[in-house]
Copies of this chain bind each other. A is one copy, B any other.
Amino acid sequence: MIEVDLVKEAVRQRKARSETFLGFEYLRFSDDFKDIPRGTAIFQDTVIWGYPHIGRIFILERGLKEQFKNPFWVEEKVDGYNVRVFKVGDRVIALSRGGYICPFTTDRLPDFIDLKFFEDNPDLILCAEVAGPENPYIEESPPFVEEDVRFFVFDIMRKNEQGFLSQEDKLRLIENYSLPSVEVFGKFQREDVGELKELLLRLNEEGREGVVFKEESEENRRAKYITSYANLSDIKVTTKNMLQLPPEYYTNRVLRLVLFMEEEGIERTEHLYEELGRAFIDGLFEAIEQFKREHKVYRTFRCRFRSRDNAVALMELLHRTSRHIQVIERELKQEGDYWILTFDKVFLNMTGLLGHLLSGGLVFD
């Protein structure tokens, strides 16, 4: 539990605030506050802890030696957005990493999992990644999700508790309820670094994001490790809107890319140089061309809903929470069993900068 005084202090410091959405009223931690991670939510007396930060290692060999004393599980890290799914009263809802109730994920839960899981386990929380080309939040999507989105469970938490169920309990529940989950590559030791390097090289070639290491121990230490493919892809997908992200987003990824190559012994080929150059350049060209044509820089998103109300609620959420982005609905129409929502995110910073530069403005730097 979280002490009442701590909650009051967080509210006073504007690190936590009351949210009313989709008929729920709850308290949301909008920032880390002392030991409470951002995204932690309190529904009446129930605390849904925020998903904790996981540190990144840049070098497999020394990193595993340094971070793990015990055997650890290796699981795929899927490139999507993080949700926590649980039962409140008689409804099952999904919270985003930041602690917002996500109308899209909540709407689609019956497509992803058998909700009987929550009837049998009302105190459990599924932590999952939602990934695919038709999601409302992120522009990246793993190559193995070709349409719509898919749901990948990777952890199970208990209400009012920090920490996770053991790997054994998690895998048993995943099996019993046929929950879709991330790929589990097995249990390894830090001496298995040769095998793990091969695994990562394969994931890199397959365009997958990376892995999470989860120690089998009381401390349950964790770390993640990302492929150079994912670093390249992060750059490529976001340059159209380069001003939205902190610039170190890009320099960090270039550094990670080089460290991955260095450790995996990947040669610096012309092709690889070319890929990085292309990742930076093409999105910016696209932004300039789009600006010249339409006087704004934007990207169109599309996603499917079971219920029209949830699509409307998503638009409301995006309007309310988007910063430096204007969200414009294009269309909401029924197609077969689904409502298809199409909307644009107009990147206001990039639109403003290109407007200034292309009209001949001066920049002092």
**Chain A interfacial positions (CB closer than 8 Å to B):** 53, 55-59, 61-67, 223, 239, 242, 246-248, 250-252, 254-255, 257-259, 261-262, 268, 270, 272-278, 280-282, 284-285, 288, 357-365
Chain B residues with CB under 8 A of A58: 357-358, 361, 363
**Inside 8 A of A276's CB, which chain B residues have their CB?**
273, 276-277, 280-281
- Chain A contact residues: helix, strand, loop or mixed: helix
**Complex interface: chain B residues within 8 A of A360 (CB):** 57, 59, 61-67
Residue in chain B with minimal CB distance to A190: B360
Cα A342 to Cα B57 in complex, Å, equals: 37
List the B side residues contacting A62 at CB < 8 Å.
Answer: 358-360
Q: Which residues of B contact A247 (CB under 8 A)?
A: 246-248, 250-251
Q: Nearest chain-B residue to A60 (Cβ)? A: B360
A64 CA to B362 CA, complexed, in Å: 10
Oligomeric state, in number of copies?
2
- With A and B bound together, what is the CA distance between A10 and B272 in angstroms? 51
Complex alpha-carbon distance, A157 and B27, angstroms? 63
A242 CB contacts on chain B under 8 angstroms: 251, 254-255
Closest Cβ of chain B: how far from A359's Cβ, in Å?
A: 6
Nearest-neighbour CB distance to chain B for A354, whole angstroms, equals 9
A62-B360, A274-B274 given; A268·B282 CB < 8 A: yes
A67 proximity list for chain B (CB < 8 A): 360, 362
Q: Known: A259-B288, A274-B277, A359-B66. Is A252-B365 also a contact (CB below 8 A)?
A: yes
Cβ-defined partner of A281 (8 Å) among B268, B284, B361: B268
Residues of B within 8 A of A277 (CB): 272-278
Residue contacts A-B, CB under 8 angstroms, 22 given? A55-B362, A55-B363, A55-B364, A58-B357, A58-B363, A61-B360, A62-B358, A66-B361, A67-B360, A246-B247, A247-B248, A247-B250, A250-B250, A250-B251, A254-B284, A258-B288, A259-B357, A270-B274, A273-B276, A273-B277, A274-B274, A277-B278
A250 neighbours in B (Cβ, 8 Å): 247, 250-251
> Knowing A66-B359, A268-B282 touch, does A365 contact B56 (C-beta < 8 A)?
yes
A284-B268 contact given A56-B364, A58-B363, A277-B274, CB 8 Å threshold: no
The CA-CA distance from A275 to B225 in the complex, in Å, is 28
Other than the given A57-B363, A66-B361, 15 more pairs (CB < 8 A) read: A55-B362, A58-B357, A65-B360, A66-B360, A67-B362, A242-B254, A247-B248, A247-B250, A258-B285, A258-B288, A261-B281, A262-B285, A268-B282, A274-B277, A276-B281
